[in-house]
Chains A and B, each alone.
Chain A
Amino acid sequence: MKPPMHVAKETDLAAIGFAVSPLQEQQQKTVGKLNELVNAMRSLSVIMETCTKCGICANQCHSYLGTDDFNNIPAARADLVRRIYKRYLTLRGKYLGSYVGAEEFDDQTLTKWLTYFYQCNECRRCARFCPFGIDTAEVTIAARHILSELGIMPKFMQGITANMIKSGNNMGIPKPAIIDCAEFMEEEIKEETGLDIKIPIDKPNSDVLYIPSSADFFTNIDTMIGAAKLFYKLGLNWTISSSILEAANFGLLFNLKVMSEHNDRMKEAALSLGAKLVIQGECGHGWRAAKMYSEGVNGPIPFEIIHILDFCALNLDNLQLRKLPLRVTLHDPCNYARAGEICEQPRQILRACVDEFVEMTPNRDENFCCGGGSGILMDEMMEIRMKLGKMKADQVKALGKIDYLAMPCSICKAQIPNVLSHYGIDIANMGGVMDLVGKAIVLNE
């Protein structure tokens, strides 16, 4: 069995402070780490003990529906860890073995984990439908964390972490390039509006620190421009930080220590700039990490953290928006709708910005993942990624003609255009929600 992605080599790992565990230590370390996590996370221990294999999750999982691979059924995927848990961490598993679903650790165990826990998008739709509320994303997070602690991780995750260490963002954009990008966007805004709207960088004594996705400084610049126009209109004293130009927190997706380091980086940047409020940009899992794991893991956090769409929706009455003549739909990023209380806000914003807003079905907390979630954006996994995106493609296709597909998360923005093109679906335009705010907002009157 060969994992479907490029795996980081020893020299790659060393560059980010990780090392490969010798083969003979793998079993002991895996069981040890699993024991630590089960003891530390009540949710994980409940998940390990509870599943009755009722099978309800199977047809709710886009990964299983798209790939038709048994191990992508959430209950079966979680069982890859559960069998080891039973064998080594429960009395009945030690003595009764496979009779109670326990399994020996062997030379394929971790390869199976690497293969299948990187076909789970951590979208949590299984948890939405499981009668016991079992959240397989928690198992995926645990399994990926254990793998990385043993020096096993996709090259993609390693490369992003190396960039984060070097430049403070996933893309590896150095500060002079950040300045150049900001100036280019300021010129674009000036050409369009005639106004001098600034994108301040590392400005001391700022009330607000805005943390965009670094992809907003490469492909999705209208998202950044929309945010800059919003802050200008509201007269905010704001800045971005060159030490954390990244709303994404890939640590949540492969190593919990890396996640915590990212949170510390955010905390230090906000404190050094004097910010009382941190506004997170359009990034799904990054919002989950900031909202759910910053205070708990890195607290106390002496400032407020809000999402740009929540902030924008709260300020709708203070904005003048012209309705754009577009038929628009919304793809709910999983980490907003199922993990981040960002559900109605994008709808309120879109209804204020466009002539016609239409829902795809299902939506909100029942929406299907784009298939790229949890950082499954590796090019070498494109064939699997297209299978993971099949349910999303079906949803969009059912809507007929759409002028703009709003997908307010950088992973979704990277994945969905590939998916739609693969399934032959033609949408005129796609991008963030803030992109449309930027186009609808009236600044000159």
Chain B
Amino acid sequence: MSVVIKGQEIELDEDGFLVDPGLWNEDIVEYFAKAEDVGDLTEKHWKVINYLRDYFKKFGIAPMIRKLCKDTGFTLKEIYELFPSGPAKGACKLAGLPKPTGCV
């Protein structure tokens, strides 16, 4: 399926994640923030999003959840407060990463 975000047609997968992580931009983050009930984006949200994007650029995958918490200084509970659908299904979506799959 595809959606139009600020005039640009963006393809999403069945779970609403970006099909092409290369198309990621701040307008898309705003769009996902609404879809995932994140509310207004704060500095804290961006700290998590930027961390995920940097890790993904370097390693091609999302970081381990505990590493994400340790390196950003947020507890898992705080991550859930920032992203109600959680680090994998919420934060990764906003950061434009593919959906973590497997036994998770």
Contact = CB atoms under 8 A, between A and B. Distances in A.
Contacts of B35: none
Contacts of A155: 14
A172 B65 contact: no
Contact of B102 (A177, A188, A215): A215
Interface stretch (A64-72, A104-112, A163-171, A351-359): A163-171
A411 B104 CA distance: 7
Interface stretch (A53-61, A132-140, A217-225): A217-225
Contacts of A329: none
B61 A172 contact: yes
A271 interface: no
A75 interface: no
Contacts of A172: 61, 98, 101-102
A214 B89 contact: no
A213 interface: yes
Interface in A164-201: 169-174, 176-177, 180-181, 184, 188
A413 B103 contact: yes
A180 B59 contact: yes
Given A163-B101, A171-B104, A218 B64 contact: yes
B67 interface: yes
Contact-residue bracket for chain A: 20 to 34
Nearest to A183: B67
B104 A218 contact: yes
B94 interface: no
B28 interface: no
A370 to B, nearest CB: 11
Interface in B56-104: 58-67, 88-89, 98, 100-104
Contact of A6 (B14, B59, B60, B62): B14
A379 interface: yes
A180 B89 CA distance: 22
Contact of B101 (A160, A411, A413): A160
B15 A171 contact: no
A252 to B, nearest CB: 14
Greatest chain B CB density within 10 A among A160, A218, A248 is at: A218
Interface string B2-43: 000000000000110000000000000000000000000000
Given A171-B102, A184-B67, A379-B15, A218 B62 contact: yes
Contacts of A188: 66
A217 B98 CA distance: 17
Greatest chain A CB density within 10 A among B59, B66, B102 is at: B102
Nearest to A283: B103
Contact-residue bracket for chain B: 20 to 34
A160 B102 CA distance: 6
A414 B104 contact: yes
A202 B89 CA distance: 31
A283 B103 CA distance: 10
A239 to B, nearest CB: 20
A6 B89 CA distance: 16
B102 A170 contact: yes
Greatest chain A CB density within 10 A among B15, B64, B65 is at: B64
Nearest to A173: B61
A156 interface: yes
Contacts of B64: 181, 184, 217-219, 221
A434 B104 CA distance: 18
B92 to A, nearest CB: 11
B89 to A, nearest CB: 7
B101 A170 contact: yes
Contacts of B102: 160, 163, 169-172, 214-215, 218, 248, 410
A182 B98 CA distance: 22
Greatest chain A CB density within 10 A among B62, B89, B100, B103 is at: B103
Given A218-B64, A221-B66, A410 B103 contact: yes
A377 interface: yes
Interface of A: 6, 155-156, 159-160, 163, 169-174, 176-177, 180-181, 184, 188, 213-215, 217-219, 221, 248, 283, 377, 379-380, 410-411, 413-414
17 contacts: A155-B14, A156-B101, A159-B101, A170-B101, A172-B61, A176-B58, A176-B59, A188-B66, A213-B103, A215-B103, A218-B64, A218-B102, A221-B64, A221-B66, A283-B103, A379-B89, A380-B14
Given A6-B15, A155-B14, A174-B59, 19 more contacts: A6-B14, A160-B101, A172-B61, A172-B98, A181-B64, A184-B66, A188-B66, A213-B103, A214-B102, A215-B102, A215-B103, A218-B64, A218-B104, A219-B64, A219-B65, A221-B66, A248-B103, A377-B103, A377-B104
